[in-house]
Amino acid sequence: MNLKEPVISTARLELHHISADRLIDLFEKRDDTFALVGETFTNPLRNLIDFQGPLAWRVPQVKADPATNKWFVRWIVLKENREVIGSTSFHGTPDAQGMMEIGLGIETQYQNQGYAKEALLGMWRWVLTFPEVKTLRYTVSPQNLPSIAVIKYFGFDFKGQQIDEEDGPEDIYEMDRETFLKKWGAN
């Protein structure tokens, strides 16, 4: 199950899926040499190497069931310079109610330029091509004002708060499939 999902393309970005074998190698070796073999982009900012972010959670999931990798980590590549500027990943497979939660990180020098919105829109449009996905979820620290601004831009509804074991309090935002597609269109 070392398949790569197709690239998701937006106006300025490409979202490149990382195959299971490459994802595991990237995490375990903290080196992107194997992960970048044959790719047409570079990773000068060492995204997912110096700060491995979601890999600590996603790699054990992939090792337990390689088929889950379909939903996981993608590098965010800026078309203009062919460099990785961040990464994004859903947190798991669709749950019993069809909910999908997403995480995202943009390298500091590329923040506040609309790349997070563009990457999220691309990922959400892609995941909604799967009929089992019914609800989109985004959780964020109440202190993370830039991320809150992004999710409010899309019009997600505030649903409450949860305590994350790693991150502490998180606000929960959701939007159902039909509302998203009506407001933001399909892929």
Tens of pLDDT along the chain (187 residues)? 467 889 999 999 999 999 999 999 999 999 999 999 999 999 999 999 999 889 999 999 999 999 999 999 999 999 999 999 999 999 999 999 999 999 999 999 999 999 999 999 999 999 999 999 999 999 999 999 999 999 999 999 999 999 988 788 999 999 999 999 999 987 6
Global model pTM greater than 0.85 = yes
Q: What residue segments make up the domains of the chain, in order of their start?
A: 8-184
Nearest-5° Cα angle at 117, 68 to 5: 30
Fold of 8-184: Aminopeptidase (3.40.630)
Nearest-5° Cα angle at 116, 130 to 91: 45
Torsion of CA 77, 81, 85, 91, to 10 degrees: 0
pLDDT at position 134? 98
Strand partners, 84: 77
